[in-house]
A and B are shown apart, each in its own frame.
Chain A
Amino acid sequence: GENVEQHPSTLSVQEGDSAVIKCTYSDSASNYFPWYKQELGKGPQLIIDIRSNVGEKKDQRIAVTLNKTAKHFSLHITETQPEDSAVYFCAAGQGAQKLVFGQGTRLTINP
């Protein structure tokens, strides 16, 4: 079955700098890769997703890149702000099947 590895587990950056979180997956059949942001005591919120037919997707300060050959995908947050502090989860899935989640990255933005 699918296995998703996420790094780093914790990340601390200065406000205004960029943050990058990386994930690798094992199943080459996976074709859907969402990223979720979870704030303390809340449910995960979908922030961006990418499908295997594209290599990059951007939404304002957030971007995701996908390398199908290497089976890894990354989340890029630019111009970080204190409200970006949260736990971020990557996931991989195939069509309508279940998602497999990474272990999570605790991102802290230092003012």
Chain B
Amino acid sequence: GAVVSQHPSRVICKSGTSVKIECRSLDFQATTMFWYRQFPKQSLMLMATSNEGSKATYEQGVEKDKFLINHASLTLSTLTVTSAHPEDSSFYICSAREQGDTQYFGPGTRLTVL
């Protein structure tokens, strides 16, 4: 149980385009989903927290207009990187939580912006 999927696993895009990443909880209903960014050999950096049906809460320093988060259902959250630039290249990981405190992570999405 507690499986979280992400799609796509890898994406390469041109500078200036937008990219959407999907995060799904496959066998439970996720009341809360989190989006993280991870640079090579570094820890997880929380970008935002999203609760189903409400606006995401962004961490300090994360541009909400650049990283659009939608949590339209209890099993799906999306992260859209708008007008991507090379500095947005990173490993993006989502996690999902049903009730309580346990977070389960997805496999991650490697974004490369050319």
A residues engaging B (CB < 8 A)? 32, 34, 36, 41-46, 49, 51, 89, 93, 95-96, 98-99, 101-104
Contacts and interface: CB of A to CB of B under 8 A. Distances in A.
* Interface size class of chain B, counting residues whose CB lies under 8 Å from the partner chain: 20 to 34
Interface of B: 4, 6, 32, 34, 42-44, 46, 49, 93, 97, 100-108, 110
Given A43-B6, A104-B43, 13 more contacts: A32-B101, A36-B105, A42-B107, A43-B105, A45-B105, A89-B44, A95-B101, A96-B32, A96-B100, A98-B34, A99-B46, A101-B44, A103-B43
A34 B106 CA distance: 16
A9 to B, nearest CB: 10
Q: Which of A34, A49, A99 has the most CB of B within 10 A?
A: A99
Nearest to B57: A98
A96 B43 contact: no
Contact of B93 (A43, A46, A95, A102): A43
A41 B43 contact: no
B107 A43 contact: yes
A44 B34 contact: no
Contacts of B4: 43
Given A96-B32, A98-B46, A102-B43, A34 B103 contact: yes
Contacts of B93: 43-44
Nearest to B100: A96
A98 B33 CA distance: 10
Contacts of B34: 98
A18 to B, nearest CB: 24
A100 to B, nearest CB: 8
